[in-house]
Amino acid sequence: MKNEMAMFCYQCEQTAGGKGCTRMGVCGKDPEVAALQDLLIYQLKGIGFYGQRILSEGGNIDDSVHSFVAQSLFYTLTNVNFDADRFVRMIDRSAQLKRELAERSRSVSSNIPAAAGYQPPAEKDRMIDEGRELGVLSDDLPEDILSLRELVLYGLKGLAAYAHHAEVLGYTDRSLNEFFYRALDFTLGDDHSVAAYVDMALEVGRQNLRCMELLDRANTDRFGNPEPTEVLVTRKKGPFIVVSGHDLYDLTTILEQTEGTGINVYTHGELLPANAYPELKRYNHLIGNYGGAWQDQQKEFDEIPGCVVMTTNCIQKPRESYSDRIFTTGPAGWPEVSHISGEGSDKDFSEVIARARELGGWSEDEKEKRITIGFGHNAVLAEADRIVEAVQEGKISHFFLIGGCDGARGRRSYYEELADTVPGDAIILTLACGKYRFNKKDFGTVAGLPRLLDVGQCNDAHSAIRVASALAEAFDCDVNELPLSLVLSWYEQKAVSILLSLFALDIRGIRLGPTLPAFVSPGVLDALVENFDVQPTTTPEEDLEALLG
Ligand code: SF4
Ligand code: SF3
């Protein structure tokens, strides 16, 4: 059956028919890239096997291997990289690394899993053929075990993305790096129980929490603590570059290289929160934010008279009208789109700058509109006393965390409707790109605070968790007893890792939508409902009634 499919992938929310992409990815991933990604993941599992053996024998693994493992996992995350040739190069590199690690763990001579013993062919076509045989469905596993194994793997991909962002800023953590080998090796075991898989999934969540903390430290040490900031969300006359994705370091490099050139820099998508960091907002030509969430990019970039740089997810197939002015860097890639290579501040964006000059930019200013962002843990906790007092006096009735990924499905209007209908004395915390459903609306104030508090990027879920923990401490209760409801939207695997972090913290009663993950089997779903009371979103009215009741 599986061989009749050109590919199989069900890792994201928009998977075909809510079951799996089998002919072509809804995201644009073709069967060749799917096979190469599957082969790279298979290789990483083999690397995990040898890495784990070396570590358990007290050996060390070079940082460059950790870095490769995290980057490779990140490359296979939804909407990051669609360039087959990049995957071929990474598979070649993985073969070399695996050989080196195998050499070092010579004591392993029996019970070598197939993924560890395997060596990929050198030719691309053969890699594709073999990758097709080694994907998600290649092992005949019981439904719940397969579901949990993929849950662990997708959580690892999200974790890897955050580890990569911290690493480029010079922040790494040894036990976090070593966890990747342990978890990848674990996915090779064919006799783990459901309980063992659940434990590993929760461990991914715990590690992800540590990783989000590390990234928060990396971001705030380097760029300062985000502060409430009014950001321009309309166009300014003049040449420009739009920077999208999540990478604050790439944005800084672009800001440095465009300083004094007359080129304006706009953030896009998940880079909006960058405007609130003191060390980034000091660049006057970081002019504001352009556009909405990722799924609107083809419309918003159509014939754009400036350049776009995609630093990470979410990239969509560029339309012809802007394929000569969109660039990728870091893990992001699309075939035939110019890629700016290099590391950190060594990256040279002069090609982008020259093209932005040529294109000339917008010819006039749009009527100005600004929105307020920058409510990370530092800014919110500075108001903690006022918030606690307002709750005690009954001025603030409830907190809603409405956030997560955005996506193309119409059902995602749920999140906007929910934000519109929560009580007027409730505070809405939001984060990640799902906020574009409502972040340009005026929600007014409550107890002297804005009702809508934008906490930041998806990884700033860590900030939201810190705020919730501080409130629980102030009220001397458990987080689950706070007047706080989490209504989350998921799309890709970073959201999976964050969900696992919330489960690891034993946060219950999360509402999740717009649909439940296809890779979660009915048995695993039952367990999640039983243990964490996670519920699918229904209608804003019904959910509000249940949450406030
Ligand atoms: Fe389909 Fe999502 Fe996989 Fe793309 S990432 S192939 S849309 S399931
Ligand atoms: Fe968005 Fe892709 Fe997930 Fe970082 S940019 S949240 S979807």
- Residue in 289, 244, 313, 431 with CA at minimum distance from that of residue 14: 313
Question: Whose CA is closest to atom 2 on ligand 1?
Answer: 12
CA of 79 to the centre of ligand 2 (A): 9
Is the pLDDT at 50 greater than 70? The verdict is yes
Is residue 157 in contact with ligand 1, taking CB distance under 6 Å? no
Question: Whose CA is closest to atom 6 on ligand 1?
Answer: 25
Which ligand is the nearest neighbour of the Cα of 244? 2
Residue type for position 133? E
Percentage of residues in the chain with pLDDT exceeding 90?
Answer: 96
Class (C level, CATH) for 2-221: mainly alpha
Question: pLDDT band at residue 111, thresholds of 50, 70 and 90?
Answer: confident
Task: Give tens-digit pLDDT for 252-284.
Answer: 999 999 999 999 999 999 999 999 999 999 999
- Which positions ≥6 away from 237 have C-beta within 8 Å? 361, 362, 363, 364, 365
C-alpha–C-alpha distance, residues 401 and 54, integer Å = 42
229-359 and 376-548 agree in CATH topology: yes
Is residue 21 in contact with ligand 1, taking CB distance under 6 Å? yes
Question: Whose CA is closest to atom 3 on ligand 2?
Answer: 405
Residue type for position 268? H
- Residue in 502, 20, 470, 307 with CA at minimum distance from that of residue 7: 20
User: Residue 3's pLDDT is what?
Assistant: 58
Mutate to test the pocket of ligand 2, among 243, 248, 314, 462 (most ligand atoms within 8 A of CB): 314
CA atoms lying within 13 Å on the CB side of residue 479: 19
Identify the helix (H) or strand (E) that includes residue 446.
strand 445-446
Q: What is the mean pLDDT of the segment spanning 62-90? A: 98
C-alpha–C-alpha distance, residues 459 and 273, integer Å = 11
Mutate to test the pocket of ligand 1, among 15, 38, 494 (most ligand atoms within 8 A of CB): 15
User: Residue 426's pLDDT is what?
Assistant: 98
Is residue 29 in contact with ligand 1, taking CB distance under 6 Å? yes
- Tell me how crowded residue 59 is: count the other CB atoms within 10 A of its CB: 12
CA of 515 to the centre of ligand 1 (A): 15
Question: pLDDT band at residue 409, thresholds of 50, 70 and 90?
Answer: confident
Mutate to test the pocket of ligand 2, among 26, 208, 406 (most ligand atoms within 8 A of CB): 406
Q: What is the mean pLDDT of the segment spanning 285-294? A: 98
User: Residue 169's pLDDT is what?
Assistant: 97
Q: What is the CATH number of domain 376-548?
A: 3.40.50.2030
Question: Whose CA is closest to atom 5 on ligand 2?
Answer: 314
Is residue 81 in contact with ligand 1, taking CB distance under 6 Å? no
Q: What is the mean pLDDT of the segment spanning 433-442? A: 97
Which ligand is the nearest neighbour of the Cα of 268? 2
Residue 24 CA, closest ligand 1 atom number? 6
Question: Whose CA is closest to atom 4 on ligand 2?
Answer: 458
CA of 493 to the centre of ligand 2 (A): 9
CA of 512 to the centre of ligand 2 (A): 15
Identify the helix (H) or strand (E) that includes residue 32.
helix 31-56
Q: What is the CATH number of domain 229-359?
A: 3.40.50.2030
Is the pLDDT at 1 greater than 80? The verdict is no
Mutate to test the pocket of ligand 1, among 5, 13, 21 (most ligand atoms within 8 A of CB): 21
User: Residue 68's pLDDT is what?
Assistant: 98
Is the pLDDT at 87 greater than 90? The verdict is yes
Q: Is 549 helix (H, G, I), strand (E, B) or coil?
A: coil
Strand partners, 232: 370
Which ligand is the nearest neighbour of the Cα of 494? 2
CA of 466 to the centre of ligand 2 (A): 21
Tokens 């949990």 found at: 148
CA of 95 to the centre of ligand 2 (A): 31
Is the pLDDT at 233 greater than 80? The verdict is yes
Between 71-75, 104-108, 178-182, the lowest mean confidence (pLDDT) is in 104-108
- Residue in 510, 479, 480 with CA at minimum distance from that of residue 404: 510
Question: pLDDT band at residue 305, thresholds of 50, 70 and 90?
Answer: very high
Is the pLDDT at 418 greater than 90? The verdict is yes
Q: What is the mean pLDDT of the segment spanning 493-517? A: 97
Domain range annotation of the chain: 2-221, 229-359, 376-548
- Residue in 348, 244, 248, 250 with CA at minimum distance from that of residue 304: 244
Question: Whose CA is closest to atom 7 on ligand 2?
Answer: 405
Is residue 463 in contact with ligand 1, taking CB distance under 6 Å? no
Which ligand is the nearest neighbour of the Cα of 81? 1
Is the pLDDT at 90 greater than 50? The verdict is yes
